[in-house]
Amino acid sequence: MIRKLLICFTLLVFSITKAQNTVGTISITEGAFEAYTLISIHTKAYLINNCGEVINEWNSTYLPGNAVYLLPNGNLLRAGRLEDGSSDIIFGGNGGIIELFDWDGNIIWSFTYSTNNFRQHHDVFPMPNGNVLILAATVLSEAEALAAGRDPNLFSQSRLYNEQIIEVEPVGANQANIVWEWNIKDHLIQDFDNTKANFGDVALTPEKLDINFLNGGNGGSNWLHFNSIQYNESLDQIVISSRNLSEIYIIDHSTSTAEAATNSGGDYGNGGDLLYRWGNPQAYRQGTETDRTLFGQHYPHFIANGLTDAGKLMIFNNGSGRTPEYSEAIIITPPTSSPGVYTYTSNTAYGPQTIDYSYSDQSTSPSEFYSAIVSSAQRLANGNTLICEGRTGEIFEIDDNDNIVWEYVNPVNNIDGLTALQGNAPPVVNILFRAIKYAPDYPAFSGRDLTPGLPLELNPDLTICDNLSVEDFVSVQFKLFPNPTSNYINVSASNTIDKIEFYSILGHKVLETNNTNIIDISNFDSGVYFVKIYSGNKSISKKIIKQ
């Protein structure tokens, strides 16, 4: 989302007379939250700083499947996509394998949850006790779906997908014990056939899901398309997103597996029934299309304690199918009578009727801020909001006045892993499922080497970072001259220089030296080189031209 006004503002503030970056860090101001952003691209996960420099990376053999999390102990939990034919459950967001890496990239645990009867997709969640929540699709045959009350006229495929959440306890290197389970198939309602299961009054039973509500869909197997599960420890509740029905749900995790299949038990007394739902009241006959608020949303989650709007729900509302099409990051306050107990008036729609906050951009038509799929929004510790416009691989941060203070474009192609050259157009397929920023005081970083490496893009240009008066970016003051040069580079520095590294335009290190006076580069081929200078635990980068 590179807006002309933002570019002009950035150029004015930093007096940059060269061309605007096209990939990597596009713009940055001193209002950006200095933290590390985690993204999963192709077969790797990357932790980058605000300049786009890589702080750490983890290598897998699998494409994203899709979620990734940095754990407080420095381990990385990542879902991967199996493409070995182990399952014929196929739709966007498929995964099948969950991997746990240590900080150094070694695999600690790898668990496959993929057969022709079930398959992990989209999201997982690391529980505080070390267990892992897994979102999966399981198969209901046509006969099973009809017995559950599905209208046969609403079938376009011969089976239906149930959405399942399991909690697993990792065992050994590649095994797990399932310690808890919840299935939406146990919480259905229908008023189509009183001779079938789940018959009742849909309008008066909002705690259950109408098996015959398709939200304008065509009755395919993937009628729900859950795309996110997030956990709130203090409430012991799980927040779920259904893209296809344009609703979010909250369920009780405190139940036993047996209770989770019923409507009683658990801390809230409702078993595995829905405690709360919001976004599309026509799904339970309490409104029409005009009452709909959500459109293919992603990543609903409780804002954490200590942050602005803590305890409220933040949602990336994609806007898919809305006219006009635009995306927005929104915050709502579910009405409650006590923590985790949601108030509801029978035969009405769940509140709230209005949202607390919305960020969108409808200044152009079509909107420049629009991602029909994937994406996320996150409240940050300084009050800013991080937004991932995932379809185009763009991440940007806004302050509390909705000014954009940081912008990054993924330079890596998610299909083949090839990386774009700075100055060239971003890859056509640089999609990001989600982006999460971790504050510098996050426990995972304690005692770690956080020395920045090269940015992901080829021929990187960090001029916009060099011009910031932020300590992390300009703590090393130096000059390189002459530039361009033929044989030698002179170094003039006000700081103690520990080492200097030279990288080719393709990112290959061609020289490392402790010489801080005159450096002989006469044997270098002509071209552009990237110079990185280290002083203490800080570093800064510059570009030189070898003639």
Q: Name the residue type at position 409.
A: V
What are the structure tokens assigned to 123, written together? 């999201």
Which stretch of DSSP H or E encloses residue 7? helix 4-14
Fold of 475-546: Immunoglobulin-like (2.60.40)
Whether residue 77 contacts residue 95, with contact meaning beta carbons closer than 8 Å, is answered with: no
Q: What is the pLDDT of residues 446-462, one digit of tens each?
A: 999 999 999 999 999 99
Residue 417: left if φ>0, alpha if ψ -120 to 50, beta else—which one?
left
d(CA 469, CA 408): 19
If pLDDT is split at 50, 70 and 90, which confidence band does 2 have? very low
Please state the length of the chain. 547
The residues, ordered by sequence, that sit 6+ positions from 526 with a Cβ below 8 Å of its Cβ are 546, 547
CA-based torsion, 70, 74, 77, 83: positive or negative:
positive
Least confident stretch, 19-23, 218-222, 332-336, 388-392: 19-23
The residues, ordered by sequence, that sit 6+ positions from 78 with a Cβ below 8 Å of its Cβ are 40, 45, 58, 60, 64, 65, 67, 68, 69, 98, 99, 100, 101
Q: What is the pLDDT of residues 128-187, one digit of tens each?
A: 999 999 999 999 999 999 999 999 999 999 999 999 999 999 999 999 999 999 999 999
Which residue from 36, 69, 66 is spatially nearest to 54, judged by alpha carbons? 36
Whole-number pLDDT of residue 271:
98
Whole-number pLDDT of residue 506:
61
Which residue from 407, 402, 443, 463 is spatially nearest to 23, judged by alpha carbons? 407
Mean pLDDT of the chain: 91
Q: pTM for this one?
A: 0.85
The structure tokens 């709909």 sit at: 292
Whether residue 210 contacts residue 283, with contact meaning beta carbons closer than 8 Å, is answered with: yes
Q: Where are the domains of the chain?
A: 475-546
Q: What is the pLDDT of residues 359-415, one digit of tens each?
A: 999 999 899 999 999 999 999 999 999 999 999 999 999 999 999 999 999 999 999
If pLDDT is split at 50, 70 and 90, which confidence band does 472 have? very low
Whole-number pLDDT of residue 467:
65
The structure tokens 């608020």 sit at: 293
